[in-house]
């Protein structure tokens, strides 16, 4: 039987500090949450998939209204932001109201931005329901919508009042969505914590079997790492960039695949392989660590067949958000498992060469 029921992680940001509460079964307690009692008007935003599965729990909560939108990245748009605002205006939310976000990163990003902008900012609470949102997007206060010209182009840094995480909800999550989160979990281990990396290796089968204790441990560890980083560098002026390890090449791949057919966590696994190889070629990291990272990705079943793509389009997609000076780009590269460094002199030839090396690896074809 699982024995570890709850953990708390504190995000220390002065007057914007908050707790991340991780507990199996929290979704069953929506009706009695103390946090909601502090507000006169409490409304919720969720997507129709989550509403369908958790209607009973959501309807039992004291929400004045539940705004439901369709699932999917397309709703991180101005049109849906306007819809959310319209509901907030119609129900006459005031500055002392609370918006509760129940969903994955899409609901969290869109709803967080709605909370940040309505009457110059009202309180909101995150109840993340995907592994990715539980270990990453619900923590740290990045809120946004997309613009036709780019992802997350419009947004604000705006912290929630609290985060409530129920690992049990991952049992209804499609397996590929779970793996999307696992890519981020490996990222946290490689950038910051070698013993966590070893734990992931040893516990892979329990994690993949969704054992509650292991889920609580990995969520708490990732949130602790993110809370530490955000506590030092809330607005990404420096250190916070390490959370982008693996994401430069991942974004290039997602872009050339037009965000279809490759889950984010798979793209991050691909990106970590490309970026670790660059570090290996530069003599920054030992080949044995590169092999260890590959072994963990395989053990956690982050394997997939990378669709074929044009290298020039991929490189230009990477350069769009990573351009530094002349022909060089900024990348986060590992020095060892548990430590990374930000370098701004990565050239296109080494990215192309490393990418070809990754594409030859059995994990990615
Ligand atoms: P998502 O929100 O689209 O959710 C994925 C799918 O899973 C959806 O179809 C949803 O309906 C479904 N779902 C969610 N929870 C479920 C559950 N418990 N059971 C069954 N189905 C469930 O995707 P995501 O991966 O959570 O988030 C991706 C978004 O997060 C992207 O827009 C990305 O830009 C953003 N993001 C933001 C940050 C940040 O710091 N703000 C960090 C990383 C990613
Ligand atoms: N997901 C990266 C960040 O929050 O900074």
Of 73, 194, 236, 339, which residue is the catalytic one? 236
pLDDT, the chain, mean = 95
* Ligand lying nearest the CA atom of residue 251: 1
C-alpha to C-alpha distance for 142 and 137, rounded to whole angstroms: 7
Q: Name the DSSP class of 40.
A: S
CA distances from 274 to 72, 143, 281, 309, 313 (A): 28, 28, 11, 15, 16
Tens of pLDDT, residue by residue over 13-54, are 999 999 999 999 999 999 999 999 999 999 999 999 999 999
Q: Name the DSSP class of 136.
A: I
C-alpha to C-alpha distance for 105 and 160, rounded to whole angstroms: 14
The alpha carbons of the chain give a radius of gyration, in whole angstroms, of 20
Pocket test for ligand 1, best of 45, 74, 109, 171 (most atoms within 8 A of CB): 109
User: CB under 8 Å to 268, separation ≥6 — which residues?
Assistant: 183, 184, 186, 187, 246, 247, 250
CB atoms within 10 A of CB 209: 10
- Residue identified by tokens 């999917």 is 72
Average pLDDT in the 269-293 region? 98
Average pLDDT in the 128-140 region? 98
132 lines ligand 1 (CB under 6 A): yes
User: CB under 8 Å to 273, separation ≥6 — which residues?
Assistant: 293, 294, 297, 358, 361, 363, 364
Catalytic residue flag (residue 142): yes
53 lines ligand 1 (CB under 6 A): yes
| Residue 1: band (very low, low, confident or very high) from pLDDT cuts 50, 70, 90 | very low
Catalytic residue flag (residue 87): no
Q: Name the DSSP class of 306.
A: P
Please give the structure tokens belonging to residue 262.
Answer: 């490759």
Q: How far is the CA of 136 from the centre of ligand 2 (A)?
A: 7
Q: How far is the CA of 133 from the centre of ligand 2 (A)?
A: 11
**Entry pTM:** 0.97
Of 65, 151, 240, 336, which residue is the catalytic one? 240
């Amino acid at each position: 039987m699982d024995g570890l029921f709850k953990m708390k992680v504190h995000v220390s940001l002065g007057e914007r500090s908050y707790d991340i509460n991780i507990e199996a079964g929290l979704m069953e307690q929506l009706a009695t949450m103390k946090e909601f009692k502090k507000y006169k008007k409490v409304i919720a935003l969720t997507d129709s998939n989550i509403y369908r599965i958790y209607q009973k729990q959501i309807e039992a909560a004291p929400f004045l209204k539940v705004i439901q939108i369709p699932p999917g990245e397309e709703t991180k748009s101005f049109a849906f932001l306007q819809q959310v605002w319209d509901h907030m205006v119609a129900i006459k939310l005031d500055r002392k109201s609370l918006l509760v976000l129940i969903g994955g990163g899409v609901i969290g990003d869109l709803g967080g931005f709605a909370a940040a902008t309505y009457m110059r900012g009202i309180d909101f609470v995150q109840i993340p329901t995907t592994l990715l949102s539980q270990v990453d997007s619900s923590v740290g206060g990045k809120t946004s919508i997309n613009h036709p010209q780019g992802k997350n182009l419009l947004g604000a840094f705006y912290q929630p009042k609290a985060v409530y995480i129920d690992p049990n909800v991952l049992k209804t999550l499609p397996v590929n969505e779970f793996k999307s989160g696992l890519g981020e979990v490996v990222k946290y281990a490689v950038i910051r914590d070698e013993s966590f990396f070893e734990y992931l290796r040893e516990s892979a089968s329990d994690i993949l079997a969704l054992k509650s204790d292991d889920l609580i441990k990995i969520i708490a560890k990732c949130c602790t790492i993110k809370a530490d980083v955000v506590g030092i560098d809330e607005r990404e002026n420096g250190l916070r960039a390490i959370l982008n390890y693996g994401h430069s090449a991942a974004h290039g791949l997602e872009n050339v695949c037009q965000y279809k057919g490759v889950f984010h966590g798979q793209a991050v696994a691909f990106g970590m392989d490309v970026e670790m190889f660059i570090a290996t070629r530069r003599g920054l990291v030992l080949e044995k660590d590169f092999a260890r990272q590959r072994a963990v990705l395989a053990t956690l079943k982050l394997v997939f067949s990378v669709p074929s793509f044009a290298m020039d389009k991929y490189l230009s997609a990477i350069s769009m958000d990573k351009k530094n000076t002349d022909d060089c780009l900024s990348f986060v590269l590992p020095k060892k498992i548990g430590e990374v460094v930000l370098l701004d002199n990565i050239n296109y030839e080494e990215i192309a060469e490393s990418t070809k090396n990754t594409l030859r690896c059995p994990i990615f074809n």
